[in-house]
Copies of this chain bind each other. A is one copy, B any other.
Amino acid sequence: MTEPTGRRERKKAQTRQSLADAALELFLERGYDQVGVKDVADRADVSVTTLFKHFSGKEALVFDEDDDQEAALVAAVRERTPGQSIPQALREHLLLGQSRFAVHAADPRFADFTRMVQETPALRDYAHRMWTRHEAALARAIAEAVGAPEDDVSCAALARFALESRSLIQRHPEPRRAADEAFALLEHGWAASHPAG
């Protein structure tokens, strides 16, 4: 699967990993804002210049570059089980990620990590950005799925709202229930549950 890479690429990957590890340790130890990129580079025994050759910025040190998240999102729409609505498919996709989450939730390291991300504005924002980056692709996928024009506003809105739901769900103590409510709103509308106003 992950094959015959030369010594060069191996060393490169190793350096990258050292940096990521050093960053995570230090950030968890002292807190993100209390750690300088110099500290991270030092612990990884690497120069600051090298650090920035591997990561686009300080925040990127703690997030994996997941190029396939976009593909997974699009697939969730395109290959949803027949008869299932798009909002429902997206809700399930989100909960899947959420549960992959819960698996590791036992590991206290992981819990501390997500806590730190949520409490550090720079990291919170960065994570949100990485996630909502796929809005355009998702909007296109939805439009294609229902045969709407590529720039249809409803589709763009659904894409935006669905992606925004993630942080809504994540900060809730009971993610599944939160997801159900948020996506019920998207699916059936405000009027359905609040006829009064």
Q: A interface vs B, CB < 8 Å? A: 80, 84-87, 145-146, 153-154, 156-158, 160-161, 164-165, 168, 172, 177-178, 181-182, 184-194, 196-197
Contacts and interface: CB of A to CB of B under 8 A. Distances in A.
Given A86-B190, A187-B190, A157 B145 contact: no
A145 B85 contact: no
Contacts of A146: 194, 196-197
Question: How many identical subunits does the complex contain?
Answer: 2
Interface of A is mostly: helix
A165 to B, nearest CB: 7
Contacts of A145: 197
Given A87-B190, A146-B194, A154-B181, 19 more contacts: A80-B197, A85-B190, A85-B191, A85-B194, A145-B197, A153-B168, A154-B185, A154-B194, A156-B168, A157-B168, A157-B182, A158-B185, A164-B164, A186-B190, A187-B189, A187-B191, A188-B189, A188-B192, A189-B191
Contacts of A87: 190
Contacts of A160: 164, 168
Contact of A172 (B153, B168, B196): B153
A42 B94 CA distance: 50
Q: Which 5 A-B pairs have the closest CB atoms?
A: A189-B189, A188-B189, A153-B181, A157-B182, A161-B161
Contacts of A157: 165, 168, 181-182, 185
A188 B191 contact: yes
A153 B80 CA distance: 26
Contacts of A187: 189-191
